[in-house]
């Protein structure tokens, strides 16, 4: 078990250095339902949301992962990908969220979602944010724990590929692509999934050719 975890950690280090959040945001943009599956919400909710980045001009900062709803009774979701230990992570996260809520004209409720590769990376100081983290406001997703899900969607399988051990990554990638071709009829979506998988594999296995 320990050896398997080490392989996963080594496998994700390369992705950390190459902006893992960008890969996730591409997945959320192409297969928006994946985000809602990660937080155990109906994937159909994706049709009620637009995934984008938002800018707070007065403060000159941008939040990259935001799901904006098309109805007032649905919450705004703030998505953050964190693959490196960071003691001040939660301080920055809540600062950005509350600054945006203060400046936006939207009156919707809100939820925060943080995606970690595993629990050992979740090292941010939490003492001042315990009530928020223990409430339904914030959901923490640990990718390593998704491996116990045997049957899941193409989007979730693509996410799981990010922490797949190098020894099985290529075989798993081929399986995901074959499944996508069988399950998805939209050619543009299949092409985007293949490009995402290629990107993940190139980061994980730099000696691998694109072909």
Arithmetic mean of pLDDT, 189-203: 90
pLDDT tens digit sequence for 155-184: 999 999 998 888 899 999 999 999 999 998
Round to whole Å and give the CA distance between 110 and 97: 9
Buried/exposed code over 150-183 (b: 16+ C-beta within 10 A; e: otherwise): eeebbbbbbbbbbbbbeeebeebbeebbeebeee
Which ranges of 66-153 would DSSP assign to H, the alpha helix? 89-103, 130-133
Domain boundaries, the chain: 2-204
pLDDT tens digit sequence for 102-161: 999 999 999 999 999 999 999 999 999 999 999 999 999 999 998 666 557 899 999 999
Tokens linked to 193: 């999934």
pLDDT tens digit sequence for 74-93: 999 999 999 999 999 999 99
pLDDT at 55: 78
Using the predicted structure, report yes or no on whether residue 97 has a pLDDT greater than 50: yes
pLDDT at 98: 94
pLDDT at 202: 85
Q: 51 CB contacts (<8 Å, ≥6 apart)?
A: 25, 28, 29, 32, 35, 65, 66, 67, 68
Could you tell me if 19 and 84 are in contact, meaning their C-beta atoms sit under 8 angstroms apart? Answer: no
pLDDT tens digit sequence for 28-53: 998 999 999 999 999 999 999 999 88
Q: Is 41 helix (H, G, I), strand (E, B) or coil?
A: coil
Which ranges of the chain would DSSP assign to H, the alpha helix? 2-16, 20-30, 33-38, 89-103, 130-133, 154-161, 166-183, 187-204
């Amino acid at each position: 078990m320990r050896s398997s975890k080490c392989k996963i950690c080594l496998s994700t280090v390369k992705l950390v250095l190459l902006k893992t959040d960008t890969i996730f945001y591409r997945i959320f943009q192409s297969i928006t339902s994946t985000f809602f599956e990660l937080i155990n919400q109906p994937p159909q909710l994706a049709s009620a949301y637009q995934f984008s980045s938002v800018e707070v001009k007065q403060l000159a900062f941008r939040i990259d992962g935001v799901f904006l709803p098309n109805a007032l009774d649905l919450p705004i979701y703030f998505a953050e990908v964190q693959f490196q230990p960071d003691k001040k992570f939660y301080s920055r996260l809540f600062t950005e969220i509350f600054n945006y809520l203060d400046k936006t004209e939207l009156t919707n409720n809100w939820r925060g979602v943080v995606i970690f590769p595993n629990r050992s990376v979740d090292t941010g100081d939490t003492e001042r944010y315990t009530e928020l983290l223990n409430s339904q406001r914030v959901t923490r997703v640990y990718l390593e724990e998704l491996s116990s899900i045997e049957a899941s969607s193409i989007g979730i399988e693509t996410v799981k590929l990010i922490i797949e051990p190098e020894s099985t990554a290529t075989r798993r990638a081929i399986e995901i692509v074959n499944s996508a071709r069988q399950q998805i009829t939209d050619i543009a979506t299949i092409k985007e999934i293949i490009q995402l998988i290629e990107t993940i594999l190139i980061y994980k296995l730099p000696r691998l050719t694109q072909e």
